[in-house]
């Protein structure tokens, strides 16, 4: 149950450890999403919580929900003013060159009738900057931490595939899309912190999911933010 996956809760916010495979908003073709669980996540409040930002369907980990309209406006403003710190952890289908650095690769959206839409590196696109650090190498795969400065659609996935030349394991768009028999993408929103005026920040870390553990990586491989 999603109510068992709450990492942080107070009168303004909930941070949820979203499972991979569950979209934040209802899919076009129907199916379950976070929207279907909002009443369960109200925890006695009359208002149901709303997602402040988005995670891709196949990305697991920290998702911030607001518990009232005023908090929503403040959190949205924090995102706009870049007062939100986030860290993602991914298993890459190969080993990047170096131990870390910064990927400065603007992103643009392209679309074709055959393949649908995707994001690509585009000098004329929107600015996108991600810092990265190599955490561990195992069996020609790498566990990498990504700290984005910007929040573009598919930013981590494209920056891994194009910026580092090594896609996220299981990425169905920018990589091979397969991981053994399950094909689950190994991208995880591991940590988030949102500043609040006059109050302690909203902050939580999400433990690595079973898919990472099964791939040979562990929480001990990820240092504190």
Our answer to whether residue 56 is catalytic in this structure is yes
Q: Do residues 200 and 215 lie in contact, with contact meaning Cβ atoms separated by under 8 Å?
A: no
Q: What is the pLDDT of residue 179?
A: 52
The pTM assigned to this predicted structure is 0.94
From residue 73, alpha-carbon distances to 13, 17, 66, 137, 162 in Å are 12, 22, 9, 41, 34
Q: Residue 116 — pLDDT band, cuts 50, 70, 90?
A: confident
> CA 183: distance to chain centroid?
17
Q: Residue 197 — pLDDT band, cuts 50, 70, 90?
A: confident
Q: What is the pLDDT of residues 21-34, one digit of tens each?
A: 999 999 888 889 99
Give the active site residue among 4, 10, 56, 93.
Answer: 56
Q: Do residues 131 and 145 lie in contact, with contact meaning Cβ atoms separated by under 8 Å?
A: no
Joined together, the tokens standing for residue 171 give 């990425």
Q: What is the pLDDT of residues 40-96, one digit of tens each?
A: 999 999 999 999 999 999 999 999 999 999 999 999 999 999 999 999 999 999 999
CATH code, residues 2-213? 3.30.2350.10
The full set of domain ranges for the chain reads: 2-213
Burial (CB count <10 Å: 0-12, 13-18, 19+), residue 115: exposed
SS3 label, residue 155: helix
Burial (CB count <10 Å: 0-12, 13-18, 19+), residue 99: exposed
Q: What is the pLDDT of residues 133-164, one digit of tens each?
A: 999 999 999 999 999 999 999 999 999 999 99
Q: Residue 111 — pLDDT band, cuts 50, 70, 90?
A: confident
């Amino acid at each position: 149950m999603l109510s068992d996956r709450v990492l942080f809760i107070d009168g303004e916010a909930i941070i949820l450890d979203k499972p991979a495979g569950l979209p934040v908003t209802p899919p076009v073709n129907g199916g379950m999403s976070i929207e279907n669980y909002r009443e369960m996540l109200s925890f006695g409040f009359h208002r149901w919580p709303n997602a402040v930002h988005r995670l891709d369907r196949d990305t697991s980990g920290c998702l911030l929900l607001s518990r009232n309209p005023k908090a929503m406006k403040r959190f949205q403003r924090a995102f706009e003013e870049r007062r939100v710190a986030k860290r993602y952890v991914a298993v890459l289908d190969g080993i990047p060159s170096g131990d870390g650095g910064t990927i400065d690769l603007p992103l643009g959206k392209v679309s074709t009738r055959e393949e649908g839409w995707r994001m690509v590196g585009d000098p004329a696109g929107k600015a996108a900057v991600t810092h990265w650090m190599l955490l561990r190498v195992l069996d020609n795969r790498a566990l990498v931490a990504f700290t984005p400065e910007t929040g573009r659609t598919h930013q981590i996935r494209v920056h891994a595939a194009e910026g580092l030349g090594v896609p996220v394991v299981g990425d169905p768009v920018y990589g091979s899309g397969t991981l053994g028999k399950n094909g689950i993408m190994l991208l995880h929103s591991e940590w988030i912190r949102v500043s609040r005026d006059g109050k302690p920040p909203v902050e939580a870390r999400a433990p690595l999911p079973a898919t990472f553990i099964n791939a040979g990586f562990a929480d001990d491989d990820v240092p504190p933010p």
